[in-house]
Amino acid sequence: GAGVSQTPSNKVTEKGKYVELRCDPISGHTALYWYRQSLGQGPEFLIYFQGTGAADDSGLPNDRFFAVRPEGSVSTLKIQRTERGDSAVYLCASSPGGVDGYTFGSGTRLTVV
Amino acid sequence: AQSVTQLGSHVSVSEGALVLLRCNYSSSVPPYLFWYVQYPNQGLQLLLKYTSAATLVKGINGFEAEFKKSETSFHLTKPSAHMSDAAEYFCAVSDEGGTYKYIFGTGTRLKVLA
């Protein structure tokens, strides 16, 4: 596609529930990233995929968070047993690799009530 | 660990005035540096990047930034502010452990006064 697409744009869930956030990167981009942006903060790195594999998942806060990219294109960020502290905007980005900078999606605003 | 400091969480300028948004990083090794802009309810858009070529980098919408190694700075400027420049601006630096990972500052919200 022309840009990075994230769905849903907004998600409200109850504490303890499971959520999935989807990212569809720019066609042909091999690198995909997930970041989390809390209110009043800059984005914080969560995980980086090169192709199908997670090359760096050091930013995932705990084992309730998991991400996959089974075919090297679309990625899903999965959060189990959501907590109110998980409320944030989850940003996905993709790049062709190298150091040219990312292209970000518009994000998914997750609210845990 | 790498860190980024953006001085001033809010900056106000008059339309037509100079825009100066400050960014300092902590690495002793020259990193890759980026400025992103975020409009309300939108994702981040890349304004410009420094990747060890020319130290003065020109970006979109008339913005430019100068990499100063001696000052560990990468300040963003625009000679004449326009109302449409009102947004939040983020400075980012590549992490020492991997250039694919960016460390973002906390952002500066730019307000342009008529």
For position A78, what pLDDT does the model report? 98
Query: Are A43 and B90 a contacting pair at CB < 8 A?
Result: yes
Size of interface A-B (CB pairs under 8 A): 58
Chain A residues at the B interface, defined by Cβ less than 8 Å, are: 4, 31, 33, 35, 40-45, 48, 55-56, 59, 91, 93, 95, 99-107
Please report which helix (H) or strand (E) contains residue B76, including its range.
strand B73-78
Neighbours of A92 (CB within 10 A): 28
C-alpha span between B104 and A40 (Å, rounded): 12
Nearest-CA residue of chain B relative to A106? B43
For position B27, what pLDDT does the model report? 75
Query: Are B43 and A107 a contacting pair at CB < 8 A?
Result: yes
Percent of chain B beyond pLDDT 70? 96
Mean pLDDT of all residues in B16-29:
91
Q: Is residue B5 within 8 Å of B90, Cβ to Cβ? A: no
Mean pLDDT of all residues in B49-75:
91
Query: Are B34 and A100 a contacting pair at CB < 8 A?
Result: no
C-alpha span between A33 and A30 (Å, rounded): 10
Each residue's pLDDT tens digit, A13-55: 999 999 999 999 999 899 999 999 999 899 999 999 998 999 9
